[in-house]
Structure 1
Amino acid sequence: MSHDPISLPVDARLPAWQLALFGLQHVLSMAASPITAVFLIAKTLALPADLTVQLIGATFFACGIGTLVQSLGVGPIGARMPFVMVPGGAPTMLFAGIAAQAGLPTAAGAALLASAFYWVLLPVFTRCLRLFPRIVVGAMLLLVSINLIRIYATIVVGQPGSADFAQPRSLGLALATIVATVVVAGAFRGTAGRLAVLIGLMAGATLGWALGAMPALGDVWHGPLFTHPAWLPFGMPRFDVLAALPLLIFTAVSMAEATAQTVAVGETCGKAIALRRDVPKTIRGDALASLAGALFGTPLIVTSAENIGVVQTTGVRSRYVTAAAGAILLVIALFAPLARLAYAIPAAVVGGTALVVFAMIGVMGIRLLASVDLHARANQYTLAAALVVGLAPILVPNLYRHFGAPVQIVLGNGMAAGTLAAIATQLAFAALARLGGQAHAAAAAAPARDA
């Protein structure tokens, strides 16, 4: 009697209508990420409206490519599991910071260098993980959260001294968006609760439209119906390793995150994970998606942690569902009115949504720090060093204005500076502990030799 192999849920092929429905659900759960990422870059750099709309489409396009690669796989690239790709919050902030200090061509070059660095670092990735214990990663997430909250609070209220600074309507829209998000997350379970961020965004946008903060919906049809991402929209990239250092540092952290997410999705889908076989496939998928995005002007594209919750909530584990989500993302990217509609959302609404999303990054950091023994002196000083060096440029902008550009880019970035300080402190305490142990052993051996 022959035995047909049992198909894992991850490889289940569903009817087309179910693929479309469940795929759309994944898209709705992550749709705010590309919008907030582009808004961060556009507002930080004061980009024109047409370029911003183009970048929104390009970001959806890169996310679609990455999602298809991770879901279906291309040779040794892609996890072949239900992953959805998004522009990471930390690399978006780093991209915007590099662009603000060294220009958009340098930021594009940094994204390309970081995409290539994935491939270089992958063979020695496991050795690098020892430099990122939980105390370091927790501090890094906390610094990223604080910095992004400061940036998006400025987007909500405007620049001090400007005519529209802290307008009640802007504050009201942001607050309404935050309240709607929290209410939905607390009142609903399952899929509705998972869509709290998007529902809050839609509620804020609806209120903004009612208050006249949005153009007429008919305006989104003005202009071409279809568009495509522009190749190298900022011109020829400029490659500056010092400028790219914050993003290069992030790739190591991203690889550690990809490891945890691969294991988590594997457990959710009932698929046995072999770390040496499956994790490199996920990381290569991140690298390829980031490379595609960098060529179209986006920050690094990484696997989405939110998507794991969607898989758990729905119980639909098929990678073909997320492949359908990737196809939907490509349609959104190429259909220009959808990008214009995204751009028309008031900045205060997007800012309010982002404040919730990026505050959750801080919650993740605090949760990691809570699992660390903070009674240990090494951990205490590691966290203290990270907070001092990392928060200083966040709380005191232009702290390093009289230093050279390389110093400003590295130390002026709170996350990069704090991470380097934490790693250096950890290594210093480890070295001192080894020296102390050797001295103690030598002192204990001396009486024995004298005897």
Structure 2
Amino acid sequence: MADASVGTPEQLRDPNYTPPLAKAVPLGIQHVLAMFVSNVTPAIIVCGAAGFGFGSDSPDFPQMIYMIQMSMFFAGIATLIQTIGIGPVGARLPIVQGTSFAFIPIMIPLVAGKGVDAIAVLMGGILVGGLFHAVLGLFIGRIRFALPPLVTGLVVTMIGLALVKVGIQYAAGGVPAIGTPEYGSALNWLMAGTVILVTLGLKFFARGMLSVSAVLIGLLAGYVVAFALGQVNLGNVGRAAPFALPNPLHFGLEFSVAAVIGFCLMSFVSAVETVGDVSGITKGGAGREASDDEIRGATFADGLGTAVSGLFGALPNTSFSQNVGLIAMTGVMSRHVVTIGALFLILCGLVPKIGAVISSIPIEVLGGGVIVMFGMVVAAGVSMLSDVHWNRRNMVIFAIALSLGLGLQLEPDALQYLPGTLKVLATSGILPAAVIAIVLNLVLPQELAGESTEEVSGGLAGQGRGSLPGGGAH
């Protein structure tokens, strides 16, 4: 609900309005708290998949701190591009940018167990994918028809399903611990369970800032428990520099066909999610439809922010849907409030000690938060699917895309004779599911011969229509 002390109803709906500083600063920090955990988690997951050591004595540990640092810094830079704008780039709306979960299923196979050298391949894909994403801004409005709720809901659901295994592995002790007596121990699940329980409690029984920041506070509670149990190592915090600037081409650049194709295809999906977020912001905050210039500018900024991130060692950026909901909740449409949040993110990104503190979170504690976040991604996809009319045609498309996409991800050796690049793409889960769903949706007739929804679904066809403000999950 809007706070009348922040401004008049007309002012609150105006993106160019600046609330009093005493109100604007807390509102800006609230936006950061809502997205902070989701923003830094992908960097930790990618580093873990690549085989970076999580111990303070690991030679790769400073590289993970750097990627966490850049996740904060370039989320702030990308957000500034959206809120302030550079010519036609940027929607000049209160859009919060951050590291996208959607690309993780693409990134993990590309770096799995290959160490820090494999990160250069990611950066090459991120750079090309970001530029491709920006180009989509020229005609994004004309390609939305290819991604109805059937396709976008399936894609978001697949993103969550592809990642839930990561959450369980982290909560049980992390990938390096698999097969050891410590893996899955009661101590590990105590730390992870604390995060889950505190997060649930705050989401259901708290309001305002406590509810918005439930995952962050849950992680803090798990961190306190882990610290009391002697599971936290703060050695790297003291050794981390108090200030450091981004380093161009920190991980290098390497271009592979699999990475470029994967990031370009996911950029297509991410671009449409951004359109949904822009529409959600203008409807929820200002009660109007988004203009063509706003949608174009947001897409340009999405792509440019991602491309620049790849040059400095950060992961792909996209608009964050949780902040769309926050704008609807607070009723404050001011882009300058989000600009304040962006400046706070940039400041955090310049202080490696903050990255070192984040990297000191035990993997089990992070796992508790990841279980909640990725479960919410799946739930968001299911909510989007509730907008689908479940006739026989749509059920067949969904069934084939889900079965092949998820099945090949679970059993990648089924395609062991494919060339390396094709195998990585075909077993990513999300890409085959998305491509199959898009193609079938475009080529199959809207009504199959003799179609009868009741005969197929047993009366369980979706009659109610749900909605998810702002579209995608990140």
Whether TM exceeds 0.5 here: the answer is yes
Please give the alpha-carbon distance, in whole angstroms, between the structure 1 residues aligned to 2:130 and 2:341.
23
Amino acid of the structure 2 residue aligned with 1:24: I
Please give the alpha-carbon distance, in whole angstroms, between the structure 1 residues aligned to 2:416 and 2:182.
27
**Structure 2 counterpart of 1:49:** 61
Deviation at 1:224?
1.7
1:89 lines up with 2:101 in the alignment: yes
In structure 2, do the counterparts of structure 1 residues 273 and 425 end up closer, same or farther at CA, with 3 Å as the change threshold?
A: closer
Kept in 1, the 8 Å contact 2:49–2:113? The answer is: no
**Structure 1 counterpart of 2:144:** 129
Q: Secondary structure of the equivalent of 1:11?
A: coil
**Structure 2 counterpart of 1:187:** 205
**Structure 1 counterpart of 2:183:** 165
1:222 lines up with 2:239 in the alignment: yes
- Alignment counterpart, residue 38 of structure 1, candidates 34, 43, 61: 43
Deviation at 1:55?
0.5
1:77 lines up with 2:68 in the alignment: no
Q: Secondary structure of the equivalent of 2:82?
A: helix
1:334 lines up with 2:350 in the alignment: yes
Kept in 1, the 8 Å contact 2:392–2:448? The answer is: no
Kept in 2, the 8 Å contact 1:40–1:93? The answer is: no
Please give the alpha-carbon distance, in whole angstroms, between the structure 2 residues aligned to 1:399 and 1:106.
25
Aligned counterparts, 1:299-378, within 5 A:
299-374=315-390, 376-378=391-393
Q: Which runs of 5+ in 2 are unaligned?
A: 1-9, 53-59, 450-474
In structure 2, do the counterparts of structure 1 residues 430 and 125 end up closer, same or farther at CA, with 3 Å as the change threshold?
A: farther
**Structure 2 counterpart of 1:60:** 72
Kept in 1, the 8 Å contact 2:136–2:299? The answer is: no
**Structure 2 counterpart of 1:22:** 27
In structure 2, do the counterparts of structure 1 residues 101 and 115 end up closer, same or farther at CA, with 3 Å as the change threshold?
A: farther
Q: Secondary structure of the equivalent of 2:98?
A: strand
Q: String of CA shifts for 1:117-152, please: whole Å, max 9, x gaps.
A: 123333333333222221111111111111110122
Determine what percentage of the aligned residue pairs are the same residue.
Answer: 25
**Structure 1 counterpart of 2:470:** none
**Structure 2 counterpart of 1:277:** 293
Please give the alpha-carbon distance, in whole angstroms, between the structure 1 residues aligned to 2:386 and 2:34.
28
Kept in 2, the 8 Å contact 1:191–1:314? The answer is: no
1:380 lines up with 2:392 in the alignment: no
Moved more, 189-198 or 383-392: 189-198
Deviation at 1:310?
1.9
Kept in 2, the 8 Å contact 1:88–1:300? The answer is: yes
Q: Secondary structure of the equivalent of 1:402?
A: coil
**Structure 2 counterpart of 1:203:** 221
Please give the alpha-carbon distance, in whole angstroms, between the structure 2 residues aligned to 1:299 and 1:199.
25
Moved more, 395-404 or 19-28: 395-404
Kept in 2, the 8 Å contact 1:57–1:228? The answer is: no
Q: String of CA shifts for 1:308-341, please: whole Å, max 9, x gaps.
A: 2222222332111110111100110111211111
Q: Secondary structure of the equivalent of 2:318?
A: strand
- Alignment counterpart, residue 12 of structure 1, candidates 3, 8, 17: 17
Q: How many residues are aligned here?
A: 427
Structure with greater proportional helix content: 1
**Structure 1 counterpart of 2:440:** 425
Deviation at 1:433?
6.3
Q: Secondary structure of the equivalent of 1:299?
A: coil
Please give the alpha-carbon distance, in whole angstroms, between the structure 2 residues aligned to 1:316 and 1:121.
29
Kept in 2, the 8 Å contact 1:242–1:406? The answer is: yes
Please give the alpha-carbon distance, in whole angstroms, between the structure 2 residues aligned to 1:34 and 1:280.
24
Please give the alpha-carbon distance, in whole angstroms, between the structure 2 residues aligned to 1:354 and 1:14.
34
In structure 2, do the counterparts of structure 1 residues 95 and 298 end up closer, same or farther at CA, with 3 Å as the change threshold?
A: farther
**Structure 2 counterpart of 1:256:** 272
Kept in 1, the 8 Å contact 2:89–2:300? The answer is: yes
Deviation at 1:305?
0.7
Kept in 2, the 8 Å contact 1:55–1:229? The answer is: no
Q: Secondary structure of the equivalent of 1:86?
A: strand
Aligned counterparts, 1:118-157, within 5 A:
118-157=133-172
Please give the alpha-carbon distance, in whole angstroms, between the structure 1 residues aligned to 2:415 and 2:189.
31
Please give the alpha-carbon distance, in whole angstroms, between the structure 1 residues aligned to 2:272 and 2:286.
21
Kept in 1, the 8 Å contact 2:49–2:111? The answer is: no
Q: Secondary structure of the equivalent of 2:102?
A: helix
Q: String of CA shifts for 1:19-44, please: whole Å, max 9, x gaps.
A: 32221111111110122111111111
Please give the alpha-carbon distance, in whole angstroms, between the structure 2 residues aligned to 1:200 and 1:334.
25
Please give the alpha-carbon distance, in whole angstroms, between the structure 1 residues aligned to 2:127 and 2:46.
17
Amino acid of the structure 1 residue aligned with 2:304: L
Q: Secondary structure of the equivalent of 1:302?
A: strand
Aligned counterparts, 1:395-410, within 5 A:
395-410=410-425
**Structure 1 counterpart of 2:459:** none
Please give the alpha-carbon distance, in whole angstroms, between the structure 2 residues aligned to 1:364 and 1:59.
24
**Structure 2 counterpart of 1:232:** 249
Q: Which structure has the greater CA radius of gyration?
A: 1
Amino acid of the structure 2 residue aligned with 1:245: I
Q: Which runs of 5+ in 1 are unaligned?
A: 1-5, 435-451
Deviation at 1:271?
6.4
Amino acid of the structure 2 residue aligned with 1:191: M
Deviation at 1:166?
1.5
Please give the alpha-carbon distance, in whole angstroms, between the structure 2 residues aligned to 1:417 and 1:50.
35
Deviation at 1:219?
5.4
Amino acid of the structure 1 residue aligned with 2:46: I
- Alignment counterpart, residue 394 of structure 1, candidates 385, 388, 409: 409
Please give the alpha-carbon distance, in whole angstroms, between the structure 2 residues aligned to 1:260 and 1:76.
19
Deviation at 1:430?
2.8
Q: String of CA shifts for 1:336-376, please: whole Å, max 9, x gaps.
A: 211111110111111211111111111111112222122x2
Please give the alpha-carbon distance, in whole angstroms, between the structure 2 residues aligned to 1:243 and 1:23.
35
Amino acid of the structure 2 residue aligned with 1:335: V
Amino acid of the structure 2 residue aligned with 1:331: L
**Structure 2 counterpart of 1:114:** 129
Q: String of CA shifts for 1:183-233, please: whole Å, max 9, x gaps.
A: 1100012332111111111111111111111124x7523332111222222
| TM-score computed with the length of structure 1 as normaliser | 0.89
Q: String of CA shifts for 1:395-421, please: whole Å, max 9, x gaps.
A: 225443332112212111100011112
Amino acid of the structure 2 residue aligned with 1:64: G
Moved more, 19-28 or 267-276: 267-276
